[in-house]
Amino acid sequence: MMRTKAVAVVVAVAATLLLAGCGSDGGSSSGNPTAAPTAGLGEVTIADDGVQEVTLQTQDDFVFTPDRFTVAPGKVRLTLVNAAREMTHNLEFDEGEGPEPIGAGIDFLAPGQELTIDFEVTVPGDHPFTCTFHTQQGQVGTMTVSQEP
């Protein structure tokens, strides 16, 4: 049910893009028509308090945008923005899969909502995470902890 709906939305968006393409007379339309409202998704920046900050987004599909990011060992402040109109998501690090447990996650994120979690990583390696509502649909990602920037 949900899946069918999501596919329909994607088709509608594609059709809109096609129409927009036909209507355009070579103007300087810039950027991505489906662009996320949030800039700098997946970019890791250092806050004033020295904490690494990164923002991911979810939409009315089964994708984390982006689904990969890399941080250095230390404190991390992860924000998840749910830009979806209809779909609820979450973000949980897969227990026992990474080199160390991540003691934080986002249980439930309603459409239009955003939440921030703080945690600390010390061991380099890949930490898989997933939206537990949509693991079956492939909504997974990876946080890499690396000494190298």
At residue 76, the 3 state secondary structure works out as: strand
Q: What distance lies between CA 70 and its chain's CA centroid?
A: 13
Nearer to Cu ion, 52 or 139 (CB): 139
Measured from the CB of residue 30, what is the shortest distance to Cu ion in angstroms? 30
Q: What backbone torsions phi and psi does residue 9 show, to the nearest 5 degrees?
A: -65, -45
Using CB positions, name the residue nearest to Cu ion: 131
Q: Which residues bind Cu ion (CB under 5 A)?
A: 89, 131, 133-134, 139
Measured from the CB of residue 148, what is the shortest distance to Cu ion in angstroms? 30
Nearer to Cu ion, 68 or 125 (CB): 68
Nearer to Cu ion, 143 or 145 (CB): 143
List all residues 6 or more positions away from 35 whose beta carbon is below 8 Å from its beta carbon.
none
Phi/psi-derived region of residue 17, left when phi > 0, alpha when psi is between -120 and 50, beta in every other case? alpha
Measured from the CB of residue 20, what is the shortest distance to Cu ion in angstroms? 28
